[in-house]
Amino acid sequence: MRKTVLLSLTLVASLSTSCWMKPHPPADAQHPLECRMEAMHPQTAGGPTGVRFQVINRLDKPISVLRWSTPFEGWRGTLFSVSLQGQEIPYKGPMVKRGDPDPGDYMTLRAGESQIIGIDLSQGYDMSKLGLYTVKVTGGIHDVIQDGTQPPRPRDRFQPVELVCNELTLDVKKGTDVKVNY
């Protein structure tokens, strides 16, 4: 009986994972990164709405990734689309105009390495209403250096990379006085 229950739970877990994970194209120069998002709890209306964001270098060599407009830079632009029950929520954070990047604007990921960061979506979007929010990655990485060249490089030589990431549904509920640090 115990084995049957354990086998059933394992099957349900693997099936539910495959339902929310978007298939990634094979790792190559056009798709060197894998992206994952996961809800952090609690999800409170008018309070923090945390998401764990992860990128993984799927290549067998190190790459340099420009942090601009990604959660690794902070709120300086967006690569997300957030909607509440089908209605798009406008981004309310800062937008930055830029010149050429500095070396510190890049992060290096070794072969197979990942970087994870927690972000609070309520800092960039109005998450004050109760309901089901959908979060999608709609942008990509402005520049990924794959040939071992040291960053930075000028904007006119950027090699952008699309991010393929799972869609996330957040069930935002009435909050309590819970202090959460992401």
Instruction: Tell me how far apart the alpha carbons of residues 163 and 166 are, in angstroms, rounded to a whole number.
Output: 10
pTM to 2 decimals? Answer: 0.79
Instruction: Please give the helix or strand (H or E) that residue 49 lies within, else none.
Output: strand 49-57
Q: What is the pLDDT of residue 29?
A: 64
pLDDT tens sequence across 125-152: 999 999 999 999 988 999 999 999 999 9
Mean pLDDT of the 141-169 span: 94
The architecture CATH gives domain 2-172: Sandwich (2.60)
Q: Please state, for a pLDDT cut of 70, what percent of the chain lies above it.
A: 80
Instruction: Tell me the domain boundaries of the chain.
Output: 2-172
Segment 16-46, tens digit of pLDDT: 333 344 455 666 667 899 999 999 988 889 8
Of 87, 64, 83, the closest CA to residue 121 belongs to 83
